[in-house]
């Protein structure tokens, strides 16, 4: 899996279309709009945030189209779906291995470089299974000022 972002830059609409085509996806107008919002620069967005951005300019797109597009982008490894809780997922435009702080007060995700976390032990995997990756989410919150 390769990260689709250029170091320090953004992807143009034509570059995003090529990324989709390279993954065997037809770069339809709606797919390109979702990709532009999510993949042109590193970010963490929910499907609802993407939908709101798409509709901001008066355009109409169905919620199902957004969810279907996000599903296929995640299946192809172009974005990562991060399950924060049973009812909420965030889509991460950085597809390379990394971890996150999750600010439970604001909902914000903050990237942690993969090399900033070390594991000294790894649990034995269930029979017949192999590791597919490790993603750590560290939940953080503001300290209560009165408790300090």
Bridge partners for 123 per DSSP: none
| 29 part of a folded domain | yes
Stretches in the chain below the pLDDT threshold 50: 1-3, 5-8
| 8 part of a folded domain | no
3-class secondary structure, 103: strand
Residues 21 and 81 in one domain: yes
Give every CB contact of residue 26 below 8 A, 6+ residues apart in sequence: 20
| 134 part of a folded domain | yes
| 102 part of a folded domain | yes
Residues 46 and 22 in one domain: yes
- Count up the domains in the chain and report the number: 2
Q: Which of 102, 107, 108 is nearest to 135 (CA)?
A: 102
Would you state the pLDDT for residue 97?
85
CATH number at residue 31: 1.10.10.10
Would you state the pLDDT for residue 3?
47
Residues 106 and 66 in one domain: no
Residues 42 and 79 in one domain: yes
CB 141 within 8 A of CB 104: yes
Residues 88 and 102 in one domain: no
Residues 19 and 78 in one domain: yes
- Structural domain boundaries, residue 133: 98-119+127-147
| 74 part of a folded domain | yes
Residues 84 and 110 in one domain: no
Would you state the pLDDT for residue 145?
61
Distance, in Å, from the CA atom of 67 to the CA atom of 47, rounded to the nearest integer, reads 7
Residues 18 and 68 in one domain: yes
């Amino acid at each position: 899996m390769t990260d689709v972002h250029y170091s320090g830059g953004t992807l143009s609409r034509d570059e995003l279309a090529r990324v989709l085509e390279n993954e065997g996806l037809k770069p339809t107008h709606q797919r390109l709009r979702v990709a532009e919002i999510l993949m042109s620069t590193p970010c963490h967005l929910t499907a609802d945030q993407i939908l709101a951005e798409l509709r901001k300019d008066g355009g109409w797109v169905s919620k199902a189209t957004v969810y279907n597009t996000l599903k296929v982008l995640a299946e192809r490894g172009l974005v990562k779906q991060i399950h924060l809780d049973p009812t909420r997922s965030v889509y991460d435009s950085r597809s390379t291995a990394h971890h996150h702080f999750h600010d439970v007060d604001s909902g914000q995700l903050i990237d942690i470089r993969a090399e900033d976390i070390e594991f000294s032990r790894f649990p034995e995997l269930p029979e017949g299974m192999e590791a597919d990756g490790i993603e750590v989410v560290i939940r953080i919150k503001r300290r209560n000022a009165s408790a300090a």
